Amino acid sequence: MNTKESAKQRLIHALVGIHFSERYYRYYEQTRHRSPQKFMAHENIAKALVSTGLDFKFDTREKFFYHREKHDAFQISLHVAFTSSAAEFILAVKTPVGHIGGPFSLLAEEVALRHDAGFSYSPPYPDPLFSDLQELREVILFGTSLFEDAKQAFLEAAGHQSPATALRGN
């Protein structure tokens, strides 16, 4: 990865390989008609994030939760911001040539545009919705699962051999 643009293209190519846009939009469609929640307690959100097994921290200044991992030259993070009834997931990758990534909704659009230059989605920036604690947990599990798949695909595309890949002998 010599340039930031080549790193970004490698990320998008990795996301194409895991059907990122199809998965993201399909899941959003399952949540789009949920009734808005008036308020979800910070403690409930924190407990739901802990249940994923990832180590989330809260950025009090920016008001979002984040999980960071270091993989050799890469720092890969998942940021999650909440409104009263939606979760915005953001993939952030720090590479030796700069930061790449973005909100899942924008990454999904960029991946979809690879297949269809005229692609358009409404709403333009869909975030999965929840109306109760169980749906919040489902949304978080979906987002963290998609993050894990995206992270693994990017690391493999960047030539980083994960412990699981190394054990398989690939």
CB 137 within 8 A of CB 41: no
Among the ranges given (38-47, 117-126, 128-137), the one the predictor scored with the smallest mean pLDDT: 38-47
> Is pLDDT at 117 greater than 70 in this prediction?
yes
Q: What Å distances lie between residue 136 and 7, 83, 84, CA to CA?
A: 32, 11, 10
Q: What pLDDT sits at residue 161?
A: 57
What is residue 1's predicted lDDT score, i.e. its pLDDT? 54
The helix (run of H) or strand (run of E) holding residue 110 is helix 104-115
Q: What is the mean pLDDT of residues 89-107?
A: 97
Average pLDDT over residues 117-144: 95
Is 139:45 a contact under the CB 8 Å cutoff? Answer: no
Cα dist from 59 to 16, 87, 102, whole Å: 30, 16, 17
Q: Write down the mean pLDDT value for the chain.
A: 91
- pLDDT above 70: residue 10: yes
For the cut 60, the answer to whether the pLDDT of residue 167 exceeds it is no
Using 50, 70 and 90 to split pLDDT, how confident is the model at 40?
A: confident
DSSP annotation string for 1-61 = --SHHHHHHHHHHHHHHTTHHHHHHHHHHHHTTPPPPS---HHHHHHHHHTTTS--EEETT
- Residue 133, classed as helix, strand or coil, is helix
Residue 170 is predicted with a pLDDT of 43
168 has pLDDT over 50: no
In this prediction, residue 162 has a pLDDT band, given cuts at 50, 70 and 90, of: low
For residue 157, pLDDT over 50 is answered with yes
Residue 79 exposed, middle or buried by CB count within 10 Å (0-12, 13-18, 19+): buried
pTM score, whole prediction: 0.91
C-alpha 24/C-alpha 108 separation (Å) is: 7
pLDDT of residue 37: 75
